[in-house]
Amino acid sequence: MEKILIVDDSMLSLRILSDILKEEYDVMASKEGREALKMAKEYSPTIILLDIVMPVMDGFEVLAELKQMPETSNIPVIFITSLNDPENEEKGLILGATDYIYKPFSPRVVKARVKNHIDLFLMRKTIEDLALIDALSKIHNRRSFDLRSEVEWARAMREQTCISTAILDIDDFKKYNDHYGHLEGDGVIKSVANRISSSLSRKTDFVARYGGEEFVVLLPATPSENGEKLLQKICENIKDLAIPHAESPTTSVVTVSIGGTSTIPQMGEGIKDFIEIADQMLYKAKKEGKNRVVWNAYPALK
């Protein structure tokens, strides 16, 4: 069931809209802007119905903040208002509102407009999701990682929490493909992707296929020791798959090398430099004999 957040300082309006929509949607309500922003960020509603005229923080201000936060910027917002004039309508549309519903409410109009915008949002989300999923491994792709890492990096900098990341590379994968064939190689990529995914327990943990036989893991709010420990476990879990690799000079089964790093972002530091450190650690893991994790905690990024 799709979630709807209704924001209005009038209890009567909240009750009327809730009664209209509650049979088809999971309805949440808020009477003021600051609380609504917190709820939108926490619960990720499919759509927001937002009153314009509210005390302390009006609907225009709420919409502007919603559009600035990465977690809420794409949520469709329908203004609910009695201000039926072109100037206010134009202002709302320029700020990013998708539509207006005018008071007094017509249940049929409310249902129709909400349904239309939810359908459009879900259709767009499906298309976007397909563009962010790797066709072979069925996990996120490089573009998806780039988008997610920017969001998590900004969050870590804002909240001054530790963020960890790691790049994984299947050892001697070209030799595997040359010996077993590319179809078997595709199967290894799928198996490794599944094993990495199943090793991550938190919803915030993120894995993507970085390209070829490389994968990348992003661990928000994860201190260095926890990140390194988790990636050590992933390294062992992949070896435990016991996929034969007759041409490997390291072991008789498929293994991975992993380079990782952790930091608390500071002003002037960038996510690209952070990822580059993980890539350097991966190079060291390969050079030191493969089938291992090399970790660099709290590197200087400048």
Q: Name which of 284, 276, 239 is nearest 258 in CA terms.
A: 284
Give 3-state DSSP helix, strand, coil % of the chain, rounded to 5: 50, 20, 30
- Inter-helix orientation angle 173-180/182-199, to 10°: 130
Rounded distance between C-alpha atoms, residue 179 and residue 133, angstroms = 28
Beta-strand pair 99-102/163-170: unpaired
Q: Which residue has the tokens 């999701």?
A: 129
Rounded distance between C-alpha atoms, residue 158 and residue 95, angstroms = 24
Q: Catalytic: 288?
A: no
Determine which one of 87, 128, 159, 213 is catalytic.
213
Contact 1, 26 (CB under 8 A): yes
As annotated, the active-site residues are 213
